Structure formats: C-alpha cells, structure tokens
Amino acid sequence: MPLRPWSPIPIVDNGEPLLPLPPGLLRLEPHPYVAVGAPYGEQASPFQLRQGVIERLLAAQAHLQRTHPQWRLAVFDAWRPLAVQAHMVQHAIRSECQIRGLDPDQPGPALTAVVAEVGRFWAPPSADPLTPPPHSTGAAVDLTLADADGQTLPMGSEIDAIGAVSEPDYFQQRAGELAPGPERDQALRWAGHRDALRHAMQVAGFAQHPNEWWHFSHGDQLWAWRQQQPIAHYGRWGPAEP
C-alpha cells in the first residue's frame, strides 16, 4: 500500500489526552472489530478520541440537531491501536478476496488488485511516527446518523464497504443519471443523509476522507492535507508495535 498524499505533512503533537466518548454520543455496539478478533487488549477501548476532537463532535451533533432535532450522531469506530489496524487490513483483504472468489494466500495480479483497492480505504499500519494511520492518532472517527431511538439511517452502503459506492458523492451523481422514479428518489434520500452528516461535521471543523462517507478527522495529517494546513496537531497515540 503506497503512502498517502498527506503522509509528508509534519506532525507537532499538541499533547491533548485520549479520552472516552461522553454519554451524549451514541456508540454502535457490539463493536464490529472486536467481534472479528481485533486485538484491543483488556485496557483499550475503540470509543476514545483526543479531547479537542470530542469537543468538536459534540458541536457537530448540536449543529445537526438544530436542523434535524430527531437525529443524532452514531459512532461506529474511533481510536485504533496499530495492532488493530494491522489486523483489520488483513481482515479486509481476506473478506474482499472471499467476495471475489480468490485465494488470499495465492499471489498474483488478482490479489494485487484487491490489496490496491483495499488500500484506498484502509491506511497501512505504519509504525513510523511520521506516517501514523489516522485512527491511531485519536483524531479520526467513523460514524453515521441515527434517529431518536438509536436506529441508524440508511446511507446507501455499509461502513467499510469497498468500492465506489462508499465515495461521499456517489448517490448524488447516481441520481443525476437516473430518470424520475423510485430508484432516483431513493438515491436522493441516501445522498441527503450523507450530505447532512458531512455538513454537520464540516461546520465543526472536521475534514472528510475523499473515499469514505463515514470517515472524518480533525487535527491529523489527512485533515491538514484537506484543509491546506502546514502541520498536523495529532500524532500516533499508543505503542508502536503493530
């Protein structure tokens, strides 16, 4: 997996602590990566973020509820130790191989194509402090929208889906290609949900991953790249060994 375009951006960590998400932010549980054996360890929780990022998440939710009082943010995943990142990259590769009917242990062009496609969505589990995966910094969060009962809203694709369907504007573009009718109406509904999430997060200072409707961050290298900032404010949090 090649380096990202944001990898050269320098990091000057501001030292903010990694804190548990407050009760006002909905957590989607059971956590899906724990369910597939991701090695968090007994003391580590995925539902943690840097202090300033949590404050911005709360601001994003407040903004969302000014326009959609019955909606709230629903956090799917937040901080990841490097060991979890490494585990989930391999899990994603094997899952995609299974979908395509490939043997993940058989090298060749087909496997290379899968690894490249997975690499558009999953950052390498780099132990280099200059190139941390976004989630290992405590600055990145994967999330969606939920209603007042905590039921997630349809967004057109699942979080972590590999492919163009996960790109933020996919359904807006798809709607433009469809004739009026139920399929177009559904595409516009999904596009509207994605836009509402993106707007709330951007108002609070987050930047969106270009390939993932669910991934936002503030203060990491990806954020600095998208916001044209000279430095990132958060480096890797936690042990270096993946």
Which pLDDT tens digit goes with each residue over 122-161? 999 999 999 999 999 999 999 999 999 999 999 999 999 9
Tokens standing for 138? 């405590």
The answer to whether the beta carbons of residues 216 and 209 sit under 8 Å apart is yes
Does 57 reside within a domain? yes
Measured over all CA atoms, what is the biggest interatomic distance in the chain, rounded to whole angstroms? Answer: 53
Q: What percent of the chain has pLDDT over 70?
A: 98
Q: What is the pLDDT of residue 4?
A: 85
Q: Which of 16, 96, 167, 212 is catalytic?
A: 212
Please indicate, yes or no, if residue 204 is contained in any of the structural domains. Answer: yes
Asked if residue 236 is part of any domain, the answer here is: no
Q: So what's the pLDDT on residue 109?
A: 93
In a domain, 233, yes or no: no
- Whether the bond between 30 and the residue before it is cis, its omega within 30 degrees of 0, is yes
Domain assignment of residue 120, yes or no: yes
Reply yes or no on whether 212 is catalytic: yes
Q: What pLDDT sits at residue 154?
A: 97
Q: Where are the beta strands (DSSP E) in the chain?
A: 18-20, 26-27, 48-50, 72-77, 140-146, 207-208, 215-217
20-64, pLDDT tens digit by residue?
999 999 999 999 999 899 999 877 899 999 999 999 999 999 999
State the residue range of the domain holding 211.
Answer: 18-227
* Prediction pTM value: 0.93
Number of domains the chain contains: 1
Q: Give the domain CATH number at 152.
A: 3.30.1380.10
Contact 214, 156 (CB under 8 A): no
Confidence of residue 242 (pLDDT cuts 50, 70, 90): low
Residue 76 lies in a domain: yes
Query: Which residues have CB under 8 Å from 106's CB, separation 6+?
Result: none
The answer to the question of residue 160 being in a domain is yes
* Residue 52 domain flag: yes
